[in-house]
Structure formats: structure tokens, C-alpha cells
Amino acid sequence: DAKTTQPTSMDCAEGRAANLPCNHSTISGNEYVYWYRQIHSQGPQYIIHGLKNNETNEMASLIITEDRKSSTLILPHATLRDTAVYYCIVTGNDMRFGAGTRLTVKP
């Protein structure tokens, strides 16, 4: 099963872009990359997913490298409410969440 590696924590200034990396070097050709975030102890919230093309929605953008071994979630204008734990998972790992990245957006 493909595993993911993320930095433990990151800081970002309010209004700036937050770029959250994820390594998934063992991903298989048909596995998707999903991003979720968890605010406090609420259930994780879906953000975005992709296979190999870059994706954008109203919440974020997802950039996947050409070799698909890593990806970056971009929050273009981070706000204080984006402070959360962000999880990157791949479908082959069947919904197993790692420790994620704790993003702190600072004023």
C-alpha cells in the first residue's frame, strides 16, 4: 500500500499562500491523491483530490508532480480559519490517515 510523508508542522502568514507538501513515492498508477483537513476534533473535511493532472476548486489547488511521487496542496490566501491539521492520503492505503501537517496561520 502506498504511504504518505508530510512535515509535522508549518506556519503561514495570514493572506499569504500556504503550500503543503506530501510525498507518496510508492503510489501506483491508478491511485488517487486525496487531501482532507481537520479543525479541532471535528471529523476531517474533504478538500480536493487528483490523479495526475493539477486540480483546482473553491478551496484549494492541488499540484501533482509529473512522476506522481509527490504533490502540493496550495491554499492561495490563507486565513486564520485555515488553521488545521491537513492530511494527504492515497486511495491504495484505503483511508488510513497519517499524522498530517499541523498548519498554523498567524496574523
Partner 1 sequence: EADIYQTPRYLVIGTGKKITLECSQTMGHDKMYWYQQDPGMELHLIHYSYGVNSTEKGDLSSESTVSRIRTEHFPLTLESARPSHTSQYLCASRPGSGANVLTFGAGSRLTVL
96: contact with partner 1 by CB under 8 A: yes
As a whole number of angstroms, the distance between CA 60 and CA 27 comes to 22
Options 14-22, 35-43, 62-70, 76-84: segment touching partner 1 (CB under 8 A) = 35-43
Neighbouring-strand partners of residue 72 = 21, 63
As a whole number of angstroms, the distance between CA 99 and CA 78 comes to 21
**Residue 15 C-beta: closest distance to partner 1, Å:** 27
Alpha helices in the chain (DSSP H): none
| Pattern 62-91, partner 1, x by CB under 8 A | -------------------------x---x
Radius of gyration of the chain (CA): 13
29: contact with partner 1 by CB under 8 A: no
Cell triple for 11: 506556519
Q: Given the rule CB under 8 A, which residues bind partner 1?
A: 32, 34, 36, 38, 41-46, 49, 87, 91, 94-100
